[in-house]
């Protein structure tokens, strides 16, 4: 009893013990897992520009014990309400071959989907979303339907003007297009929110509009206000299988400095704004979620970006814990 008490006093201290995501048990996928937290240590989908994103899962594991908490607003202890496990990392034996890595991701998540386990993932660059949704879209968790995105990002990632990015075909810039082309996502019931920055070309938003995505740029968000945008999210995604993909560069660099492709010229979301947008899909059928573009080699000494990523993951997990078991 004394040892159990001592351990319970230590479990919220990130620097103690062996790190797993939120101190969840680290084990292979099992039938009883309601939620599986997965690391996707992949960088080659962003070409050769921001290669350290594969270190993101390790950085979040290192600090996420701080966020093993109850949810004050939801009145929920997620760790007791559902069976949640750290089910490890996707293996990348050919890590410099982006196309092979995307297929590795797809194979891994097909097993997760077939098990009925809702995945919460930490990358890795944003190309991982393509590999994940190739498994989940039209799979078991969605009851054969395409997913519908709640996509928070500074960039569209619906890139159609050239066929690759520095050699990566299913890159961090292409997944929003090829997933739609192959029917894994329904753009007409998907939201892209927070797009900002000075783009390379003036037609940068055209592909998103052509595919039918519901786009809210950062300027539009500021003009319309959170309440109006949240109402649109609820209307667009209601009744659909929701997949949340959260690029940390949607946040202001002052609270998330350690991201790739940072956009410093226009204010990003603060943490309350971002969490408010996530909560717009509370109670909906959230079939999966990811947080991407964490770059720990750029973080400050108190690991603020890794802690912020953990906080976003915590919100995603708690919203999934509110859902009925085996829903989807």
Q: What is the mean pLDDT of the chain?
A: 92
The model's pLDDT over 23-68, given as tens digits with 9 standing for 90+, comes to: 999 999 999 999 999 999 999 888 666 679 999 999 999 999 999 9
Peptide bond into 3 cis (omega under 30): no
Q: Classify residue 190 by burial, with Cβ atoms within 10 Å: 0-12, 13-18, 19+.
A: buried
Predicted confidence at residue 327, as pLDDT, reads 43
How much of the chain, in percent, has pLDDT values that exceed 70? 95
| Domain boundaries, given as residue ranges, for the chain | 2-321
Query: Max Cα separation, the chain?
Result: 65
Predicted confidence at residue 66, as pLDDT, reads 93
For 105-141, letters b (16+ CB in 10 Å) and e give bbebbeebbebebbbbbbbbbbbbbbbbbbbbbbbbb
Are the beta carbons of 290 and 83 closer than 8 angstroms?
A: no
Predicted confidence at residue 7, as pLDDT, reads 73
Q: Where is average pLDDT lowest: 17-21, 36-40, 277-281? A: 17-21
Q: What are phi and psi of 291, to 5 degrees?
A: -125, 130
Which of 33, 10, 57, 47 is CA-nearest to residue 295? 57
- Averaged over 101-112, what is the pLDDT? 96
How much of the chain, in percent, has pLDDT values that exceed 90? 80
The model's pLDDT over 58-99, given as tens digits with 9 standing for 90+, comes to: 999 999 999 999 999 999 999 999 999 999 999 999 998 999
Q: Which CATH class is domain 2-321?
A: alpha beta
The model's pLDDT over 138-178, given as tens digits with 9 standing for 90+, comes to: 999 999 999 999 999 999 989 887 776 666 778 777 899 99
Predicted confidence at residue 204, as pLDDT, reads 85
């Amino acid at each position: 009893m004394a040892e159990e008490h001592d351990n319970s006093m230590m479990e919220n201290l990130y620097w103690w013990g062996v790190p797993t995501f939120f101190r969840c048990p680290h084990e292979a996928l099992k039938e009883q897992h309601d939620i599986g937290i997965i690391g996707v240590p992949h960088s080659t989908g962003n070409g050769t520009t921001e290669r350290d994103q594969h270190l993101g899962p390790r950085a979040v594991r290192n600090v996420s014990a701080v966020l093993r908490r109850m949810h004050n607003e939801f009145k929920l202890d997620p760790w007791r309400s559902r069976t949640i496990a750290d089910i490890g990392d996707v293996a990348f034996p050919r890590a410099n071959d982006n196309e092979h890595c995307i297929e590795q991701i797809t194979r891994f998540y097909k097993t997760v989907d077939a098990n009925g386990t809702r995945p919460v993932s930490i990358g890795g660059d944003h190309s991982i979303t393509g590999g994940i949704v190739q498994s989940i879209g039209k799979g078991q968790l969605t009851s054969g339907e395409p997913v519908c995105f709640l996509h928070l990002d500074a960039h569209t990632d619906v890139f159609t003007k050239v066929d690759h990015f520095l050699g990566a075909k299913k890159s961090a810039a292409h997944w929003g297009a090829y997933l739609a082309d192959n029917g894994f996502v329904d753009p007409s019931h998907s939201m892209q929110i927070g797009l900002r920055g000075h783009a390379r070309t003036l037609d940068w938003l055209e592909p998103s509009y052509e595919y039918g995505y519901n786009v809210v740029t950062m300027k539009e968000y500021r003009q319309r206000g959170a309440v109006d945008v949240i109402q649109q999210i609820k209307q667009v995604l209601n009744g659909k299988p929701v997949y949340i993909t959260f690029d940390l560069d949607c946040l202001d660099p002052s609270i998330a400095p350690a991201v790739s492709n940072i956009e410093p010229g226009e204010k990003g979301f603060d943490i309350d704004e971002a969490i408010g947008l996530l909560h717009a899909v509370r109670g909906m059928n959230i079939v999966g979620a990811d947080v991407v573009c964490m770059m720990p080699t750029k973080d400050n000494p108190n690991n603020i970006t890794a802690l912020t990523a953990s906080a976003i993951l915590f919100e995603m997990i708690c919203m999934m814990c509110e859902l009925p078991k085996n829903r989807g």
